[in-house]
Structure 1
């Protein structure tokens, strides 16, 4: 658990480093360790949080999820389709290619809103459902394939996306269920989002449906993840 808390602190620091943290923002957490530190981080990131609604995510993607690193073409940066070492199989123009009423049958049709922590586990309640920090723009079909399966390492894949994200049986000792594995380039992004979520919503975790076999929660408030 000590290592987990250390990772939380490190990832929070890295995540916000480029956002020019306001002076004194983390001062209240100075000297704290363990669960006390995690709870204080929850209080800090909760203070001032504004729920912009589910529709507000589309607006956030137009600013915060543009490709300014790989192709640098201001298309939507989708962790499930981006190919860091080569040309993408398809790309999405913000707003124009967001999903409407038609469900595409194959990749490249439209992008929608992917809850890295599945909303079915918290009954689609707000503000969790609308929280940009764990809801990413991703291809609609790959999003559907991921479904509400936990993230993990895949042994033999039953399905693979155009960028190499995989669905299949877990290869991790002790868990033999179905998992979804993003490519290595984006595993850190997923980890940071999930650590944020389990910290930000610490007080709500025990109201979630953690009895679902796909939910990685352990039922506790403090540790959160199994």
Structure 2
């Protein structure tokens, strides 16, 4: 009897040790939805995203007339409509009264943090065995611009009083390590960042200025696609997450106009492009219409400061030449400074900066918030 008791104690201790120290199944980091979709390995994770509807099948999410409170779908953008970019959440009974969409339809578009096992649900990337659900409003929001006058608060404190390389380094450290999204997710993000304020069903195309239906994105003539303002061949980063999907330099453009621009540097002169009004081009440069010259310049300046070669990333640099080819450089600096001064920051640029900061990447373009810093760095 005594021997049996000792064996039981040993077995209990072995079991307890196994349960207590198997830390490989959990992680303290909060994931964006895009990473949770890619990490369907049954580990326990916390995921943050916007409620975008209720799943009813692997490929269907509804946004009204909810039949029950048993599940919801979240995404990195509240405007997401592609189920491939959504994570399906199983809602256990203890959370249904507070988080089920049948009981709380007003939650659509709200940001939440959910903890549970990353595993398939409805035969779709999901999170099950949910142990915690928290509304974003119950947590501390990231500190950013003052909502009344759009002026940054403490976001830029570490850059205050600096000039030249010291300012550039401080700004890099502020805007570095943003949330990255997939290239497929860029489609839906641009529908939010570049929405026509006079027609919410449309986006405004960068080079033509045309207002066009959000649903006409693709690769055919007169559709719109994703333009890399810092040409993706300048550094050869393609469409990989990071510079290839950074919304601060991605804009919707007419397919054929995008093809005409190709990977040309920016400079004055050339012949009329033909399809895009007030746009000129030659064999090595592109001059957009006056209304977006400053937008283009500030996007190029952002890319220079954001990608400085640390953490295994590319070191992108703006220079005062054209024909940069596949080198990680973009020009022409003197022309871009001229355009920055010619076309000041407008409300659409500010709004776009806010949407990227609040809903997607959680970093800002400092040259939209502080146009004077262009001269402080590139004088």
Work out whether the TM-score is over 0.5. Answer: yes
Gaps of 5+ in 1: 1-15, 83-87, 169-176, 219-223
- Cα offset, 1:198, TM superposition: 0.4
1:113 aligned onto 2:226: yes
Number of the residue aligned with 1:25: 155
- Cα offset, 1:178, TM superposition: 2.2
- Cα offset, 1:23, TM superposition: 3.2
Paired with 1:43 and 1:213, the residues of 2 have a C-alpha distance of 30
Residue among 162, 165, 181 paired with 2:279: 165
- Map 1:1-226; keep pairs closer than 5 Å: 20=150, 23-47=153-177, 49-68=178-197, 72-74=198-200, 75-82=202-209, 88=210, 91-94=211-214, 96-100=215-219, 103-104=220-221, 109-123=222-236, 124=238, 125-154=240-269, 156-157=270-271, 159-168=273-282, 178-203=284-309, 204-206=313-315, 213-215=323-325, 217=329
Gaps of 5+ in 2: 1-144, 331-376
- Cα offset, 1:158, TM superposition: 5.8
The 8 Å contact of residues 167 and 181 in structure 1, kept in 2 or not, is answered as: yes
SS at match of 2:296: helix
The TM-score normalised by the length of structure 1 is 0.69
The 8 Å contact of residues 159 and 170 in structure 2, kept in 1 or not, is answered as: yes
- Cα offset, 1:207, TM superposition: 7.7
Q: 1:21 to 1:127 in 2, by over 3 A?
A: farther
SS at match of 2:265: coil
Paired with 1:98 and 1:46, the residues of 2 have a C-alpha distance of 30
Higher strand proportion, which one? 2
SS at match of 1:50: coil
Q: Which has the larger radius of gyration?
A: 2
SS at match of 1:185: helix
The 8 Å contact of residues 148 and 214 in structure 1, kept in 2 or not, is answered as: no
- Cα offset, 1:17, TM superposition: 7.9
Paired with 2:295 and 2:252, the residues of 1 have a C-alpha distance of 13
The TM-score normalised by the length of structure 2 is 0.42
The 8 Å contact of residues 272 and 281 in structure 2, kept in 1 or not, is answered as: yes
Paired with 1:17 and 1:137, the residues of 2 have a C-alpha distance of 28
- Cα offset, 1:143, TM superposition: 0.3
The 8 Å contact of residues 218 and 224 in structure 2, kept in 1 or not, is answered as: yes
In angstroms, what is the RMSD of aligned CA positions? 2.9
Q: 1:161 to 1:214 in 2, by over 3 A?
A: farther
Equivalent pairs counted in the alignment come to 177
- Cα offset, 1:50, TM superposition: 0.6
The 8 Å contact of residues 186 and 245 in structure 2, kept in 1 or not, is answered as: yes
Paired with 1:42 and 1:21, the residues of 2 have a C-alpha distance of 19
